[in-house]
Chain A
Amino acid sequence: MKNAFKISGLAKSFPEFKLGPINLELEPGIVMGYIGPNGSGKTTTMHCMVGLVKPDAGEVEIFGRENDPNKPEWKLDIGYVGDKHVFYENWSGEKNLSFLKQFYPNWDTQLEHELIKRFEVPINKKAKDLSSGNRVKLSLIGALSHRPKLLILDEPTAGLDPVVRTEFLDVLFEVIESGERAIFYSTHILSDISRIADELTFLNNGQIALKASKEDLTENWRRISFKLSEGRNDFSETVLVENEGSNYKIISSRYESTMDELNQLGAESIQETRMSVDEIAVQILRNNK
């Protein structure tokens, strides 16, 4: 089965920032959260994927086809909502969608109307008169209506108020449940993606810090508190160690291994608690600064 996308050695340099080399793959039907702080390279990665920016090095394949701008058939398989929501500003939302429809043989008009109704977008208003939330929704309708096999979303909820953001995520959740669509979703708002993602890739300073399934992360990361008379600053598979005298609080990325070590060391009053995806993400990104 072909990957939804495959990025090999992707690199792009700017005067004060270097992205990559990035190597990343996404299987069909999987939701991947692409998490990183502002300026980490998430948007640049996506720009290179969809052909808005030519990388300095590397290749991108979408369902086995190279993202060649002169052979754009690969774009029929993707729906992209980027950081800029561009339209014919003096045209209504409806007219803008009619324009897009011409380019996609798989455009589903019924789905388009369902999404318009679901999102409650004022479709007859000129694009320039739409609020930022409605512009995002219109972009999403344009991206979803041709039933793409891969959805690439670049911080789509940035700037949206909490009500609209929740609404957007509800629709996205329905989209995920309804089909075998792969989704590549970049965000720095962890709560958005922790609900829907299967896999998480953490990006920092242009490099991938970690890639793992959500299940792996939540199963293996733990906060552990214990008492240890022997003074130590270092334990296996730990990312954070804090202590006040003999009272220790650590964060482990492989708690079983850490627990074995603590038992061997004779640690007492060991308590371990699970961590949320948000907490794990914060820790990973902090450690890679």
Chain B
Amino acid sequence: MYNILKAEIKYFLIPLSTIALFSICFTLFAFAEIIPFQGTFFLSKYFWSMVIGMGTYMFVFIIWTLRKKELRDHFHSKLPVQKSKIAFARWTFGVVPFLLTYIYLELLGHFISKEQEVFISRINAQLSILFIFIISFDIVLNIGYLIEKHRVLIYAIAVLSIIGLSSVLIYLVTIAAIPPFFFGREEFYFFLCGFLLSIIDAVIYKNRKSFLG
């Protein structure tokens, strides 16, 4: 399993490093607290949170699509490695970058000014939502390999379920204003949702009936 994970990290070192670089750049700007002549923070003025979130997502999506294009699951499933270990390596590779970025930015929140904390929230919320999006996409594709009959119907049900689940979550957090029980920021719920979906995704992957795609 470690050999697979090591290979994936080596292979995608450039996009993974770019994601890390984004976070480091953000950190530098957060600490610099550059204030343009209008009196607003550089961070908010140039939508840094959106840039960080979309930038990270773009590179993760590139990694995801490249793995699909190169039939990586097909390649790995031919190796003499337990399916469960391949699933775990895949899960680790997919989840850990999001998790590390999330934790890093949350920790950063303790060292920057109160006024900037909202930008941490915004980035982590965006990252979490994009995390949910990628995982959901992967779930839908993996379901297609798990349930071979009536595939189109299954895809439709899966997509609608995920949209429904996300809508419920957003309602609970924003309108019903269910207080967070942990970090004090509602975006945690989005990340938790993505994390739980990723575990479901790993289980579905392990039980696929076909690893041709």
A contacts, CB < 8 Å to B: 47, 50-54, 69-76, 80, 82, 84, 86-91, 99-100, 102-104
Task: Tell whether, in the assembled complex, residue B11 and residue A88 are in contact, meaning their CB atoms are under 8 Å apart.
Answer: yes
| Given A69-B82, A75-B78, A103-B3: A52 in contact with B210 (beta carbons within 8 A) | yes
Contact B74 A103 (CB under 8 A): no
Q: Evaluate whether A103 and B11 lie within 8 angstroms (CB atoms) in the complex, with A52-B74, A53-B212 already known.
A: no
A82 / chain B contacts, CB cutoff of 8 Å: 78
Instruction: Provide the bound-state CA to CA distance between A52 and B73, in Å.
Output: 10
Q: Could you give 27 example pairs across A and B, Cβ below 8 Å?
A: A47-B212, A50-B78, A51-B77, A51-B78, A52-B78, A52-B212, A53-B209, A54-B208, A54-B209, A69-B77, A69-B83, A70-B82, A72-B79, A72-B80, A73-B80, A75-B78, A75-B79, A75-B80, A80-B78, A82-B78, A84-B71, A84-B74, A86-B70, A86-B71, A87-B70, A89-B70, A99-B7
Q: Which residue of A lies closest to B14 (CB)?
A: A90
Residues of B within 8 A of A50 (CB): 78
> Which A residues are CB-close (under 8 A) to B11?
88, 90-91
| Chain B contact patch, size range | 20 to 34
Q: Complex Cα distance A85/B72, Å?
A: 11
* Interface residues in B11-35 (C-beta closer than 8 Å to A): 11
Are the C-beta atoms of A72 and B7 separated by less than 8 Å?
Answer: no
Interface string of B111-137 (1 = CB under 8 A from A): 000000000000000000000000000
Q: Does B41 contact A (CB under 8 A)?
A: no
Closest Cβ of chain B to A181, distance in Å, is: 18
Interface residues of B in 192-213 (CB under 8 A from A): 208-212
Using Cβ atoms and an 8 Å threshold, which residues of chain A touch B82? 69-72
Q: In the complex the two chains form, what is the Cα distance from A168 to B83 in whole Å? A: 32
